[in-house]
Amino acid sequence: MTFARLDHISDLDTLPRMPAWVTSARAETLEDVAFLSGAALNHLHVVLGRAEVPQALLRDRLALRAAEACVAFFGRSERVGELRDAVHLLRPGDLPGPAGETFLVWRRAVERSISIKSLGRALPAFESGQIATWLDAGRGAPVTRAAMALEAVLTEAPRADVSALILADTAIAQALGWDQLVPLLAAGLKRADLRKRGDDLRLACHRALVSSAVEVVRLSADLAPRAAHLKAVAPKLRAKGAGDAVEMLLTRDAVAPSTLPLPDRAARRLCERLVALGAVRELTGRDTFRLYGL
């Protein structure tokens, strides 16, 4: 992801925290909420510019968070654990189901640099020209552009909530000069917000952005030292293919041992070794069909 690098502060032990006045202010008017969302987005931009933040992993985990929100919009009960299972435990020929497919759509949207072609791969139900038209609907500041894109999609395709939210996040990324999408709005919006229009929708998007930016900054601060620790213990791993396995763990929300570039038994032993070293966590709490991640 392309951000202005801030190497001159890379020696700090922690990432800069979101200012307390952003998180504690009680704003009601569109103007005041827009001011807070601008401050939150600026701070997020700074945090995402830090070299120690594992960008691909962060986007993948945010894709999971966005998928969970969208699944709830549909009235389904699947949460993070079920969504991970639906995608990571798929066997050849299996279908992921509606919830798993929602997660896969978000994952496809965040894994490549933004382009009409890559968005077309993530959203195959829509023609590339239509996607470009919706993105062009937005004008002005980042969140305003996102709200306008969101409204444009949902006006023409009222049931395309996931596509609309992906394109709204894309509008934010483009406005800020980011070359990859960062899922922000879905987790902060309510189902009822998606039926709003005009200033009401803009207000909802600004509020969602504030809450989501706070969470993304928190998650970045959590993942950065975990990623650093995994990199630090990597030289201790002797298994052939361990380096590629570590790279997978540094870029994905979760992995099943069977997907690592090692024989099954060696992959399980590697994951157990990394857990013992405090470098990764077992995410399911199960004895079988386990998943691992930072």
DSSP secondary structure letters along 262-293? S-HHHHHHHHHHHHHTTSSEESS--SSS--EE
Strand bridging mode 281-282 / 292-293: antiparallel
Predicted pLDDT at 1: 52
Predicted pLDDT at 22: 86
Predicted pLDDT at 167: 97
Handedness of CA 219, 221, 226, 228 (dihedral sign): positive
Residue reference for tokens 């997978």: 248
Residue reference for tokens 């103007």: 31
Token pair for residue 158?
Answer: 């009222």
Predicted pLDDT at 7: 38
Structurally, what CATH architecture does the domain formed by 237-293 represent? Answer: Orthogonal Bundle (1.10)
Q: What is the mean pLDDT of each run of 10 residues along the chain (294 residues)?
A: 40 72 82 93 95 96 97 91 94 88 97 95 95 90 95 95 97 95 96 95 96 95 96 90 94 96 94 96 94 97
Predicted pLDDT at 13: 53
Q: pTM of this prediction?
A: 0.92
What is the identity of the amino acid at 12?
L
Predicted pLDDT at 9: 35
Q: CB–CB of 152/108 below 8 Å? A: no
Orientation angle between helical segments 80-88 and 55-73, nearest 10 degrees: 110
